[in-house]
Amino acid sequence: MRKKTYAMRYVAGQPAEQIFPGVLAHLGPDLPPGAALPNSNILRVMVWNIFKQQRADWLSVLRDYGKDAQLVLLQEAQTTPELIRFATSNYLAADQVPAFMLPQHPSGVMTLSAAHPVYCCPLREREPLLRLSKSALVTVYPLIDGRLLMVVNIHAVNFSIGIDVYSKQLDPIGEQIANHKGPVIMAGDFNAWSKQRINALFGFAGNIHLEEVRFPADYRKRAFGRPLDFIFYRDLSVTSASVMETRASDHNPLRVEFLAGQPLVQ
């Protein structure tokens, strides 16, 4: 029997808590009230495949490049004491979807946030060849203007023949975004290393009206000449976007600043 998908929530001073998928029907006005992301008229987001913290200096890069970010979206985040200590010392909540168990600590996507999410939906998809899982996490946060921001953190399946499993992983995410009335950020390591995968990803993003963040100096990790990490968005405006070159992981972290004010009505 396939294991039930859940997220682990880490909050300073509290025991870790299992969070099971939210109900899609509750994604709307019935969501519980919550405190807004602080200073979310200007929204700073960092996205990084952290390579299970296997290389030196990962913590200093996370601390320095993620400084002042209200949201940090990590892939391959291993729940080591050092990472949990950083997360709970600097953020109100850290939600991780364990994708697969390592000898000591599980690894998967983890979203660090400066406010508690009012909705949390963990997702997993199994690699068809290696039989290992990749994870995704959908969370929702209030903004100071009263809107709700949906955040999707994803590590896409890597080793598969064709794009059936790749598209299967995106489908439930697309359903949630399509049912969300408000701004969206979807980001992570999409493993879009083939023409088929790139076409599937951009077709998916276009269908749910997401735009791609462009990087003036593009130092993103590439495979077969194609970038693997992306940030997509809706109902926000990009004011700056950058990529940091580092040896602290096999991926370079991305950072984007959004203007989150209400969009003008045409």
Work out the average pLDDT over 206-228.
97
Q: Are 215 and 241 in contact (CB under 8 A)?
A: yes
For residue 140, what are its two tokens? 């929702």
- Percent of the chain whose pLDDT exceeds 70: 86
- Cα(120)–Cα(20) distance, integer angstroms: 8
Work out the average pLDDT over 75-96.
96
Q: Are 98 and 117 in contact (CB under 8 A)?
A: no
Q: What is the pLDDT of residue 105?
A: 86
pLDDT in tens, 97-144: 997 666 678 999 999 999 999 999 999 876 665 556 688 999 999 999
What is the CA angle 181-183-185, rounded to 5? Answer: 125
For residue 13, what are its two tokens? 């001073």
- Look at residue 24 and tell me whether its pLDDT is greater than 60: no
User: Using a CB cutoff of 8 Å and minimum separation of 24, what contacts does 164-167 make?
Assistant: 165/125, 165/127, 165/128, 166/191, 166/197, 166/200, 167/200, 167/204
State how beta strands 119-126 and 133-142 pair: antiparallel
